Chains A and B, each alone.
Chain A
Amino acid sequence: MHTVEVVDAVLVRIDPQSAEPIAAQICFAVKEAVARAKLRPGERLPSVRELARELAVNPNTVVRAYDRLTQDGVLVRRQGAGCFVSERKATLKDRERRRQLDAALQRVVTDAFHLGLQAEDVRRAVERALADVQFPTDEKKARRSI
């Protein structure tokens, strides 16, 4: 397990032997760091070379992860300057966003059921997860920045 330190916060952890492709692991780690405000809008990410060396992975893999994050609107690429965390913005319609959220929650709830957990366990787990994430205080303001 290897980690990258960015402003005292562990940004990316990967497990090369996991079933999840390394690029997908990097993508999720960056998204998570943004949601938890460990990485803030406008902050620069490590260069491909820096991250590839720190994690001891193929630079092509980091390029793929950054490409995907750029496509997803999590990062913006500035020519010659690298990749930066973009201002949070919603590119999808409200209905589609709710649909995706519902689908993700269905999976969580179903897994919890088969793990033999109770509804209250799920509620508490959701609360704990929410506590780690910093949502913008004013949703309308966040949307205006589209």
Chain B
Amino acid sequence: MTTGEPAVAFRDVYRHFGEHEVLRGLSFAVRRGEIHALLGRNGCGKTTALRVLLGFLSPHRGRSEILGVGSDALTPADRGRVGYVTEGHQLYPGMRVREVLSFEAATRPRFRLDLAERAVQRCALPRQTPVIKLSRGQRAQLSLIVAVAAQPEVLVCDDPAMGLDVVMRRELLDVMIELLSERGISVLFSSHILTDVERIADRVSILHEGRLIVDAAVDDLKQRVRKRSWRPSNGATAPPSLPGLLRARRTGEGYDLTLVSDELDDGALRQLGGVLGEPVVPTLEDLFLDVTTNPADGGILSRATDAEVSA
């Protein structure tokens, strides 16, 4: 295995449950040292994708790899290089916080007890309290601490912020940032909290109906995508046809257009006539709504990255 390999790779992965096709040709990669967010609506296949990646589920077609090793061939040593945090936070409910730490330290050779103790102290987690009596947010923090203190090279988190309020999420983010600065690890996390993603992810993938419809660097998205209102002059009711148009949403007087700026042709925009509003940068949430509620236009933003994934 070389360091040139991506931390995580999905190559044309298919998986169905009975008649229901959950993953339909999923392909993307997480580069070394990258924080990669996997987004999608509930039931879009995020958890299935992560379970396939970790070898808990077999794909019906295609393959996935972690650190260059096929998900179906991960040895215990390989698994030691991967951290996994689930929404359910797999911790023994009866153990006290301090017992969780000493248990992990005794059973995992690379576990850094000092790092874990410091993180527990900083989060003010009560050391004598059994896991079952911790709040949801505290359990999320503890399972993240435990996963990262084992010094994984790749951390996979399945919606770690699920069910946490804004204060608990901020604390979780805090632990994550602290632990990430300690060691430059690669992270793949699924999430539905888009403001957190905007802050922390280098790259986002949006999964919709079993396929990726966006795979792009967050900074790139911000620079390339613009929203503009459009009020047609002749009272036309049909949405405009433009290169680089990701979505046209009907408004009272015309349309809100979501445009990919570098595919836009200024001439075509001028020919539209009517009144065009100033370009506005959409938030990740706007963009998410645009692409996941308009699957017909999907794929525009992932085109540029197809080569990177298959390379």
Q: Residues on A close to B: CB < 8 A? A: 16-23, 48-49, 52-53, 55-61
Asked if B35 is an interface residue, CB under 8 A from chain A, the answer is: yes
Beyond A58-B177, A58-B199, list 15 extra A-B contacts (CB 8 Å). A17-B198, A18-B281, A22-B219, A49-B177, A49-B182, A52-B177, A52-B180, A53-B174, A53-B177, A55-B199, A57-B200, A58-B201, A59-B180, A59-B184, A61-B202
Which residues 183-220 of B have a CB within 8 angstroms of A?
A: 184, 195, 198-202, 218-219
**B223 and A58 contact, CB distance less than 8 A:** no
Q: Which residue of A lies closest to B122 (CB)?
A: A53
Task: Point out which of B174, B195, B219, B223 has the most chain A C-beta atoms below 10 A from its C-beta.
Answer: B219
Asked if B112 is an interface residue, CB under 8 A from chain A, the answer is: no
Give the chain A neighbours of B281 by CB distance below 8 A: 17-19
**A19 and B198 contact, CB distance less than 8 A:** no
Question: What is the interface of chain B mostly: helix, strand, loop, or mixed?
Answer: helix
A57 to B177, CA, bound (A): 7
Known contacts A18-B281, A19-B281, A48-B181; is-contact A56 B219 (Cβ 8 Å): no
Q: How many residues of B contact A (CB 8 A)?
A: 25
**B178 and A49 contact, CB distance less than 8 A:** yes
**A56 and B174 contact, CB distance less than 8 A:** yes
**A58 and B174 contact, CB distance less than 8 A:** no
A48 to chain B minimum Cβ distance, whole angstroms, is 6
**A57 and B219 contact, CB distance less than 8 A:** no
Give the chain B neighbours of A22 by CB distance below 8 A: 199, 219
**A16 and B198 contact, CB distance less than 8 A:** yes
Asked if B91 is an interface residue, CB under 8 A from chain A, the answer is: no
Give the chain B neighbours of A61 by CB distance below 8 A: 202
Q: Residues on B close to A: CB < 8 A? A: 33-35, 170, 173-174, 177-178, 180-182, 184, 195, 198-202, 218-219, 222-223, 281, 283-284
Give the chain B neighbours of A53 by CB distance below 8 A: 174, 177-178, 181
A58 to B195, CA, bound (A): 13
B204 to chain A minimum Cβ distance, whole angstroms, is 12
A52 to B176, CA, bound (A): 10
A61 to B198, CA, bound (A): 12
Q: Which residue of B lies closest to A23 (CB)?
A: B219
Known contacts A57-B199, A60-B202; is-contact A19 B222 (Cβ 8 Å): yes
The list of the 7 closest CB pairs from A to B, nearest first, reads A19-B281, A49-B181, A21-B219, A59-B181, A16-B198, A58-B200, A16-B199
Q: Which residue of A lies closest to B195 (CB)?
A: A16
B71 to chain A minimum Cβ distance, whole angstroms, is 26
- Of the A-B pairs whose beta carbons lie under 8 Å apart in the complex, a sample of 26, sorted by A's number, is A16-B195, A16-B198, A17-B195, A17-B198, A17-B283, A17-B284, A18-B222, A18-B281, A19-B222, A19-B223, A20-B222, A21-B219, A22-B199, A23-B219, A49-B178, A52-B177, A52-B181, A53-B177, A55-B199, A56-B170, A56-B173, A57-B199, A58-B177, A58-B199, A59-B181, A60-B35
A142 to B298, CA, bound (A): 55
Task: Point out which of A22, A23, A55 has the most chain B C-beta atoms below 10 A from its C-beta.
Answer: A22
B174 to chain A minimum Cβ distance, whole angstroms, is 6
Give the chain B neighbours of A19 by CB distance below 8 A: 222-223, 281
A66 to B198, CA, bound (A): 20
